[in-house]
Structure formats: C-alpha cells, structure tokens
Amino acid sequence: MSDGQDSGKGKLSTLSDVTRFNYALKQFQILIGKTVAQKREERIGMYVKDQDEIDYDKFCEIVQTLFGPEVKDQDVKTFFRKISNNPDGRIEWCEIFGYFIVEGDALASQLDEENMVFLVSRRQRITKAGVKRRDVIKCIAKVPQLDFMVTASQKGMLTIFNSQQDSSWISGCDYLTQLKRVVAVTERTIIVWDYKSQGSSQDNCFIIKPMEHCLLCVCTVNLGDQQAKDDLLMGDDGGHVSLFTVTSDDFGLKQSKEKKSSHLQILDSRKFKNIKRKLHDDWVVKVKFISALNCFGSCSLDSVHSFVLDDLQRLEDNVPVREFSVPRGVNAFTYCGKANIIVTGGDDKILRLWHPNINTKPVGKLLGHLFSVMEIVTNEKDQHIISLSTEKIFRVWDIQTLSLLQIFHDSQGKPGETQIYAMIFDNNHGTLITGSSVIDIYPLTRMIQDTKQVPQTHERNINVLTYNRAFHQVLTICAESIVKVWELESGQQIYQIEDAHGPNIEVTCAAIDKNGFHLATGAYDGTLKIWDFGSGQEIKDLPIANDSKDDEQWLLQLVYLRASESRHVILALEHSGKIKIIQGNEGEPHLTVTWELPEAASLILQGNTVMSLCLKPNANKTNGFFPDVQLLPDTDAKTKNYSGISGTEMKCFDVLKIEGYSLIATGNAQGAIILWDFESATVRYLYVPSFSAHAGQSAQVLGVNAVLFLFRSSTSPSTSLPYSVCQMYQCISSRKHRQPPGVPSRVRQDPVPWPHSWVGVPSGQSGARPCALPNVGPRKCSPILASAHENGCVYLWTLGGDLLREVLPFTKHPAIPLITLCTDISAKMLLAATKDTEGHIMRWNTGSFLEDPQDENKQIKQQLYWRAHSTKVVSLFYEEEKNLVVTASTDGSVRLWHAPSGHYVGYFGQRRVFELSESSDMILPCDVNEFPTVIKEDSKYMEKKQKFEYPLVLDREKWKSLTRSSLLSKKPRPFEVDQDFKFFKALASPKVNREPLESFKSGNKETGVVFGSIPIYRVSS
C-alpha cells in the first residue's frame, strides 16, 4: 500500500513539474511576442520608449526567472540578438537552452578547467628553522595524523615546532606512528626521541648503535595492524635495505632502570630485529613504503639496479626483486595513487613515468630540466608532480596530460650556498615545503599567477580594445588582424575572425554601436567594414579610394554615431588628419563618405583663437548629426603668435552630442587642441599659457595623445546618461557670430548621439546657423574637456578655452607621456595609461571637482597607480557593474584589474574562469613585480608642494647705503642685531646669474693633468 502511495506522489510531482514548465513556456512565448513587436516598431521608426521597454537586461532577467539557472547567459544573448536582427525569422523555444551547442570532448573539457599553481609571491620563509650556523636541513617528514613536521639538520638538530635535540650529523628522519616518537639516523646510529616527555630533550633520547654501515635514509612502515611496534626501512652506503623493528618495551624498560642517570640512553643494536638485503651496487639515497601498493621502494645511483619496487617479504628471502634500470641512476621517486604511476628522476634530467607492474619500459617521459633532479613529490588532489633540480628550479607537471604547468625558482642566496636538500608536499594544507638553511613554504592557489609564460590573449600586439556594454562582451584585435570576442564575466572566447580586411591588411581601429548589434572596423589601407556583432558576418564595406596615397587614409579612430537596418553613420579619423562621416543607407551596396570637417589649423596659425562657423544643410547626403561647415575668419579677433603650432598631424578626437551639446574636440602632435562647437557655431583653439612663449618647446612637450569629454548628467548622475532628443533648428543670419562667454564645466564622453532634423534654408540666403536651444532644465555642470599630453600632464578645460587644472600624476618615475584616457558613466573617476614601456595605470577621483570646477579648493585627487603591463598600454576601459578596469598592451595580453585596489584578476585567453570577487590576496602577473600604490588623502604624496625661496643674505652694498659711515661694512655682532634693524633691511635674495659663464683661462698646467684641464670662470660681482 505504501509503495502505491509513493508511486502516486511521484506521479503528482512529475505532473506538477510538467505543468510549471508548460506555464513557463507560455509566459516565454508572450515575452517573445512583445519583444518581436517592439523590434519591428523600432525598425520602422514608430516605437516610442516607455517604462515597459524590453532591453537585453530585462529580457535576461525574465528568462532567468522563468527557467532558472539552467539557462546560460551566452544562450540568452544569442537568442536576443537573433530576435533583434531578424524579428520575422523563425524562432524555436528550445534555442534558449542552447540545444545547438555541441559540448567538447572530455579532454578539451579537462583542459578548460582552472589550474592549481604555487603562489611564489606569497611564499613564507622560516629563518629560525632550528638550524645552527652553516647548517642545512637534510630531511623533512610530515606527520599528517598530528599535523606537524619533523625536520632534521645535517649537524644533528631535530625540530618539532619549538622542541630541539642535538646529536651528530643526521641524514634522515621520520615519525613512529605507533610509539609516538621521532626517529632519525646518523652515520652509525639510530636516534629515537620522545619529544612529549618533560625535562631536557637529551634525557628523553635513545641511541641505538652500532650499525654496520653508514645510514643515509629512513622511513616508517605503516601497516596499520601493529600495536606498540614500528618497523623502519633504512638504506645505507653499502647498497643494503634494512627492515628494523622497534617496540615500546625496548624503550620503557630501559628508561625505568636508569632514570636520567645518563644524558644519552644507549641501546645495543644487536638486541633488535634487523633484516637486511643488498639490492643496489651504490648508495641507497631514498627509501619509502607505499601503503597503497603494500610495497617498499628504494633508489640508488646504480645504473643497473636503479630503482627497486617489491614486497617487504623480498627482504627476507633471495627471490629476485622487481628492478627498474635508469641511466645514471635515480635520485628521487614518488607515487601518484589516482593515476597509479611511479615517477623517477635522476642525473639524466629526465622524469620517467612507470606502471608499478611494468619495469621494462616507462609509460611516459617528462623533459625540461636542465640540471639533475634531486626531489620529486606528488600533489594527489590535483594530479600534479612537483620536481626540483640542483639549481633550485621547480617544475610543476600535470600527470594526466603530461604538460608543464609552472616553473619557478628560489632566487635568494648565492649559487650553491643554500642548496635545497629536502622537499615535501602537505596535502592537508596545499603547501609545498622546502628545507635548506631556512624553511620555505609555498602556498597553492587557484590563480593564474607565476606561470611559465607571460599572459597572452593574442600572439601579436594588441591594436584595438573596445567594450560592448549592452551584452557585456569585449572585442580585441591584434596586429595580425585577428578579431576576437570574449565574455567579460567568464573570460571565455565566443568567436574570432581572421584576416578581417583581407590577407596582410592590418586592422587599426574599431567601434561598437550603443545597442551592441553592429561593429565597425577600420584598416591601414583606409577600408572600413560593418559587421553583425552577434554572428561576425560582414554587412557593408567602404572600398579603397582610387586616388589614395600610402598611409594617407590610414584610419586611426572610429566613433559609431548611428546603427540601424536602414542607415549606418560612422565618424572616422584618418592618418592625414581629416575627420569624415562614412555613411551607408539601405539599398546601397557600399559605404560612402558624406561629410568632412574642414581644416582649421591654417587659420588658427594666423592668430585667430576663436572663429565663427557658417552652418548649412548637408549638400551631399543628410547624415543627421553635423551640418556642412564653412569657416568665417573673424577680423576682430586678437592676433597672437602661435608659431610653435606647426603641422596638422591629428592624433585623436572625441565627440559629445547630448543634452544640447554638439561638440568635437581634436588634438594633434604639436599640442594644438581644436574645439568645434556646432551649437554656438564657433571653433576655438586651446593652449597652455605657460608654454606659449616657448613655442619650440611646446610642440615637443605638449603633444596631445588623447582628448576626452567629461560630463555629468543633471538628471541621472549615477546611472547611464539619458539621450535628449533635441531638434537642431536653423535660422538665417548674415552677421558674424561672436564668441560666447566661457562657462566652467566638466564633460563625459558619449559617442552615440541622437539624430537631428534640419529645416530647409529659404532661397536667397547663403548661410545659416543653429539658434540657441531652449532651456531644458537646470544644469549643475557643463562639459569639461580633458587632454593627455606628452609631458605627462592632464589638462582640464572649459568650453570657453579656460584652463581649470593641470594634473601631474604621481608615480615612482619621472613624468611619463600619457597615451589614453577613460572615465565611468557618472564621471566620478578618471583613468589614464602611460605611453612608456612600464605600462602604468593611474586613477583620480573627480567627483567633488565636477560639482564646482571653479572652486579652487576642490581638487582632483589621485587615489591609485599600479603597473599593469611590462610594455606600453594601448587602450583601457572601466566596467561599472563589476568595478573592473580592462587594459590592453603591445605585449599581446588583455588583463582585468579590480578598480578600487588594482588587484590582478586574470587575462583573456586563460583556461580558468574569472573570479571577479575581490580577494584579499595580492596577485600579480609573472611579468610584473610592483605592487599597486594606494595614495591616501593624508599621504605625503598628496601634500602640496612647498615653494622654497632662496635664503636671504646680507647685501653689503645695501648695508653701506643704510649706515652712517661707510666704514661699517662688516656684519653686526649678535648682540647688535636686536638693536640695529637696518641689518634686516639690508637682507636680500642672492643674485643668480641669468647668463652662462664664460671661461677666460683654459687652466694651469703646473697643477697637474687633471686640475690643469679644468677651465676657470670669472663671476662678475
């Protein structure tokens, strides 16, 4: 009866699950219907945004609620892209579960798992390891039952925590599990130490001697069925392996009879059971008992009888033992239980893998050591083998794939001075412990730090790094024109495109539209292509111009202005300095150039810092963003000489078209910053006043490498910026447009503006410009322009051309040119990267400064700087949700960092999944050895630099003019100073020679060769 009830409950549970799933499917179909309807209206331009709008984040949240964690984020993104790109296409509900994705084989899945590596930077060193001067640790034994270590030094120091025992030279040690004592072997004796007893350690020590041969190694036989008895395996210099038995009676009787009458209680070795057999023709350097195989193993430098693995019974009879022959012998061996593999290593530098029952041929070899292998241990949990060579070089191997995972070395101490003699792996705590004159402990961690190679995302230099905020994906492009798309949260690669613009054509720039569906790439030959970001399929291209010259149309920078099924609008900067709009409409097979920004530098050189613009409707093709521009020279402008701004090599630009602002800022290699304001119909030149007088120096020092608008929206300061749909009207104007007053402000970059409609110009009118926009509400701050220069400074400007701040980053090095800038959505943070080979990143807090830029008390405070790469950083961006900074470098890697602390997260291309939660452990890549520097407000680095003046000195000419007699030309005495205030009036700053000194005598040869060659100068007083 009960079985029937259980069966009925199981059916009801199954029916309930089916009902819930069917309900989730119905709700999912409703969600698809709403999304498809919305996308169709967006395509025809009829959709009006409201609070029920379904974007990707909302779509993903609903799907996760309906189906739970079984749905993967990547499958949801693919499904949402399919609906957005083709709302009329066929959709199957099972696609949301990624049914079309084929899982890889077992080996590939295993290779994708994270690796365990030793964190060398977190190594702990025990300098007071219980050894004397010029003494070294020869043996380390781990006691897992009691969770402590036993160490034995060469000069006879046994150590368990703080307990010590002195004796002669010790060659090996272990722990007697049944008798609860420590055992050690010397040249001719066996030492048994009761470390728990009270009193002097020597009073609790037993010496068993004499032994026939010099003992070299010892280990305990753990059979588990013995009571009050322990068996010892020992190897000696005669090639013998001995099985020595000790019992509790042997020590208890002796201790009760003598009771501390002797410091060292000596026992006769002939009274103990000792079974010995000669197995090798050379020294026995290691002996171990392997409980899993119920066998003992011994190794020797003998090339014939190199390694013996057999049962303990073979020591009592003369039956042939199982021998393994290795050229030049075996120095160390270990056993891996999960893989059932014996690993041996010796002077031939090769690690050999053996099956325990096959001694004729190894099943595998591990090559890579350049010196003799001295120790081998096993990480049983992760199936790793750790080997150590005589030059203190550690290698970590994966025993399943026979691959090298990690290389690190102990670089402290002179060669041969601190040779490592002992090594064990603590499986309980995941640490590698080595013994020399000190004890080093290497913790095991699941980080990708300290690997054998530098982190690598691409094989060549990174040219492009950009972020798809809509789908949280990262795009990288290298010098070989390989385009890769990565998942930010996991670091997994989604797809890649090879030879994106054709063979041997380098892709130099890229941009993603704000919706995340389209990608634009520009190349060295001037070609531009538009791709579907989700599938990687090419949509349209801009062919090579027939009249183009070499390097002239090389595309340096792209900004995606609009992306839709009907039209694509892209703003591009060429190597020649021209800024163009490249446009593609529906029905046109290729992209075309429809707009070009005029060259203003030639007129700026004539001294016009502000000029008016004549704005007209687009004559060629309406782009919806910027009108046709014509410069109107302003004869009333004050003429100044800026001869240092020579040349027109444009290096960077930025666009801001939001909330009533229509701005383009450009910077060139000679330090010129041109600000185009299409709202006020003016173009303005920005310069640093302190360098205007030294034009030749300005061109070299103030070259502009990056410009960035900083803007904080008044409506949503802490969220993504809202796009204001502003109509740009035209009005007729025949007068010249005057310069508007500069307004101090700060700006935020937003490369995706909204289209603006243009009203036709009445006939007979030659020019038109936009009227002032109506007031759309109070603005707390207006845009600020930030520029990064070759002199290592960041300059902050108002739209009126006023210099607000000059920020010099604090680093441990001299001023380094800055190459790129980025900020967060609310412009509370400013990040910059250096141009040099050090790869430094700086972070400033700009929150308080943007509240009132004119307030001198509100400064931009640097909070952090760290070294991210060993070579130049080419690009970076900040991800707000995860609080991450992503950097790309010419070293071929793209790395992730925690923004608050500069802690290393990982790099794109690693096999493990990212751990985005910030850890307290400081992690560094293997090519970076500088820890991040946090600059606090009360730090000495944040103190204002004091301006020290020269100390005052007595001006004797002035003193003569103040005294009654010219004879008083000497300095007053101390008691006269308080009474004669004329002395203080005679104090003045020292005179500094502004002109170089000229030598009038080449030297005196009589004073010698050195001093006779020193020129003599005359200083006029």
Residues 454-477, mean pLDDT to the nearest whole number? 91
Give the tens place of pLDDT for each residue, 311-349.
Answer: 998 998 888 999 999 999 999 999 998 889 999 999 999
Question: Which carries the bigger pLDDT value, residue 920 or residue 613?
Answer: 613
User: Could you count the other beta carbons within 10 Å of the beta carbon of residue 163?
Assistant: 15
Q: Which of 632, 657, 769 is nearest to 711 (CA)?
A: 657
**Helices 73-85 and 2-44, interaxial angle, to 10°?**
40
Measured in whole angstroms, the distance separating CA 389 from the mean position of its chain's CA atoms is 31
Residue 639, SS3? coil
Measured in whole angstroms, the distance separating CA 555 from the mean position of its chain's CA atoms is 29
Contact 611, 632 (CB under 8 A): yes
Q: Which of 596, 660, 604, 580 is nearest to 629 (CA)?
A: 596
Residue 149, SS3? strand
Highest mean pLDDT among 419-428, 684-693, 942-951: 419-428
The amino acid present at 656, given as its one-letter code, is L
- Residue 558 bridge partners (DSSP): 572
Read off the pLDDT band of 948 (50, 70, 90): very low
Helix (H) or strand (E) segment spanning residue 898? strand 894-898
Taking the CA atoms of 389, 394, 399 and 404 in sequence, report the sign of the dihedral they define: negative
Read off the pLDDT band of 233 (50, 70, 90): very high
pLDDT of residue 120: 64
pLDDT of residue 695: 41
pLDDT of residue 446: 58
- Ranking 23-37, 51-65, 243-257, 608-622 by mean pLDDT, the lowest is 243-257
167 exposed, middle or buried (CB, 10 Å; 0-12, 13-18, 19+)? buried
559's tokens: 């900004």
Read off the pLDDT band of 755 (50, 70, 90): very low
Highest mean pLDDT among 461-470, 564-573, 597-606: 461-470
pLDDT of residue 980: 57
State how far the Cα of 332 lies from the Cα of 287, in Å rounded to an integer.
9
pLDDT of residue 506: 92
Domains of the chain, residue spans: 14-98, 462-595, 597-783, 809-948, 949-1021
904 exposed, middle or buried (CB, 10 Å; 0-12, 13-18, 19+)? buried
The amino acid present at 45, given as its one-letter code, is G
pLDDT of residue 744: 31
Give the tens place of pLDDT for each residue, 383-399.
Answer: 899 999 988 889 999 88
Measured in whole angstroms, the distance separating CA 6 from the mean position of its chain's CA atoms is 56
User: Could you count the other beta carbons within 10 Å of the beta carbon of residue 356?
Assistant: 16
State how far the Cα of 181 lies from the Cα of 387, in Å rounded to an integer.
30
pLDDT(778) > 50? no
Mean of all residue pLDDT scores within the chain:
76
State how far the Cα of 261 lies from the Cα of 265, in Å rounded to an integer.
9
pLDDT of residue 128: 54
State how far the Cα of 69 lies from the Cα of 56, in Å rounded to an integer.
17
Q: How far is CA 297 from CA 286, 307, 310, 891, in A?
A: 8, 7, 7, 47
pLDDT of residue 602: 56
**Helices 2-44 and 56-67, interaxial angle, to 10°?**
170
pLDDT of residue 134: 63
Question: Which residues 6+ apart lie within 8 Å of 743 measured at CB?
Answer: 782, 798, 799, 800
Give the tens place of pLDDT for each residue, 710-742.
Answer: 987 654 433 333 333 233 322 323 223 333 333
Question: Which residues 6+ apart lie within 8 Å of 23 measured at CB?
Answer: none
Q: 588 φ, ψ to 5°? A: -90, 135
What percent of the chain stands above pLDDT 90? 24
E strand spans, 337-413: 341-345, 351-354, 364-366, 373-379, 384-389, 393-398, 403-409
User: Could you count the other beta carbons within 10 Å of the beta carbon of residue 913?
Assistant: 16
Q: Which of 497, 592, 480, 499 is nearest to 535 (CA)?
A: 497
908's tokens: 């794109």
Question: Which residues 6+ apart lie within 8 Å of 870 measured at CB?
Answer: 454, 837, 838, 839, 889, 891, 927, 928
Q: Which of 729, 726, 727 is nearest to 761 (CA)?
A: 729
DSSP one-letter code for 300:
E
Read off the pLDDT band of 703 (50, 70, 90): confident
User: Could you count the other beta carbons within 10 Å of the beta carbon of residue 164?
Assistant: 16
User: Could you count the other beta carbons within 10 Å of the beta carbon of residue 619?
Assistant: 10
Give the tens place of pLDDT for each residue, 790-809.
Answer: 888 899 999 888 888 888 88
Give the tens place of pLDDT for each residue, 890-946.
Answer: 989 999 999 988 888 889 988 777 888 876 667 778 778 788 888 876 554 444 444
State how far the Cα of 438 lies from the Cα of 123, in Å rounded to an integer.
12
User: Could you count the other beta carbons within 10 Å of the beta carbon of residue 848?
Assistant: 14
State how far the Cα of 294 lies from the Cα of 311, in Å rounded to an integer.
7
State how far the Cα of 932 lies from the Cα of 812, in Å rounded to an integer.
11
Question: Which residues 6+ apart lie within 8 Å of 321 measured at CB?
Answer: 279, 308, 310, 314
Residues 21-47, mean pLDDT to the nearest whole number? 83
Measured in whole angstroms, the distance separating CA 744 from the mean position of its chain's CA atoms is 36
Q: 658 φ, ψ to 5°? A: -160, 145
Give the tens place of pLDDT for each residue, 817-874.
Answer: 899 999 998 888 999 998 877 789 999 999 888 888 888 888 888 999 899 998 899 9
Residues 743-769, mean pLDDT to the nearest whole number? 32
State how far the Cα of 451 lies from the Cα of 119, in Å rounded to an integer.
9
pLDDT of residue 94: 76
Contact 741, 782 (CB under 8 A): no
Query: Do the bridges between strand 794-797 and strand 650-658 make them parallel or antiparallel, or are there none, so unpaired?
Result: unpaired
Read off the pLDDT band of 118 (50, 70, 90): low
- Ranking 63-77, 236-250, 790-804 by mean pLDDT, the lowest is 63-77
Query: Do the bridges between strand 439-445 and strand 829-834 make them parallel or antiparallel, or are there none, so unpaired?
Result: unpaired
The amino acid present at 4, given as its one-letter code, is G
pLDDT of residue 728: 30
Q: How far is CA 855 from CA 668, 745, 804, in A?
A: 30, 11, 10
Q: In the β-sheet with 393-398, what is the strand arrangement from edge to edge?
A: 373-379, 384-389, 393-398, 403-409
Residues 605-619, mean pLDDT to the nearest whole number? 73
Question: Which carries the bigger pLDDT value, residue 242 or residue 13?
Answer: 242
DSSP one-letter code for 689:
G
DSSP one-letter code for 912:
S
Q: In the β-sheet with 341-345, what is the strand arrangement from edge to edge?
A: 332-336, 341-345, 351-354, 364-366
Question: Which carries the bigger pLDDT value, residue 658 or residue 500?
Answer: 500
Looking at CATH, the fold of the domain delimited by 462-595 is given as Methylamine Dehydrogenase; Chain H (2.130.10)
245's tokens: 């038995």
pLDDT of residue 800: 86
Contact 441, 393 (CB under 8 A): no
